[in-house]
Structure 1
Amino acid sequence: MILEVKTFPDKVLRIKAEPVDSIDESITELLDNMVETMHARSGVGLAAPQVGISKRLIVIDTSAGENEGMLLRVINPEIISAEGEQVGEEGCLSIPGEYEPVRRAEKVTVKAMDENGKPYTMEAEGFLARAFQHEIDHLDGVLFIDRLPSYKKDTLKKTIKRRIADGDYVVTGTK
């Protein structure tokens, strides 16, 4: 089932998500729905808060649905190390139509659980590392615009306000 994606400035996007204590059918179904929603929106990642669920769940598919083997369903992810630096353009399903260059680590090590509850550690580099950082930020109530220099952040917020006033940007939830 395709879920509604919450858009900035919806308050759920600013709440630190709760850890998943147990994996049951509702969690695996939510992960399935998140994958379907991400693919329907041509995204490469989606965090549970973006669909209004304040749980530490993310899905990532850097192949954008082209390679089933690239699909990751991640529970309680945590970055345990980061190194290097990259700058690349980012967008977000919760801030549609806006893209900006964001500075991130080039390589990260992530500790998490899979959908069967099995713990694992994974190293990611480049675009996958960027996707992990972006989605884990969502779990902490951080948006990519928060990583921008203040003048760019202010300009982008004004652009979004103008798009809202013009009806070009749909706001979900509450401030």
Structure 2
Amino acid sequence: MPHTVSYGGDDLHTMPYVETTCARPSEASAANAARLAVGLDRPPGEEMDRFLRVHEGRPSHAEALASLARHGRVNGRRRALAHLFAKQAARIPYPDDILFVERDWYAWRALDELAIAGYWVGEYEESEQCCERLLEGGKLPEDQRDRVTRNLEFARSGLGGRKRVGA
């Protein structure tokens, strides 16, 4: 029986409700297995382990860490870890190799995850700076601008009366 699985909330794919494991899966299949584990609501530790294995196999890529950040944030139970993973993902530059690169993570999505995760852990200034970079950087899709603008307003309201560094 097919099961619909959402890959990071972006695209829906219909897949058989079967999970297979390979002794040495390719990077693409390991990343897909990690996403599938999330879609099938596997135990959180298993989901995290799969994404971390993907990252260990290709530490020059941000996709697995950014996906972990998104997953921790969306589920609301691991916001501090989401922030940690997003911060590291946002630091990783676009890789030299071209295999299995999801360009959006490097263009804007990792920074967006950092802005959101930063807000949720009380790092309002970091969130504000990330939102400003997203809005000024020219890479944010037009359909995301209103949401990021609202997130910027939330970050600024979180700062409240605190003096901002560099203001």
TM range (shorter): 0.3 to 0.5
The structure showing larger relative contact order (alpha-carbon pairs under 8 Å, at least 6 residues apart) is 1
TM-score by length of 2: 0.33
Higher helix content, 1 or 2: 2
TM-score by length of 1: 0.32
Higher strand content, 1 or 2: 1
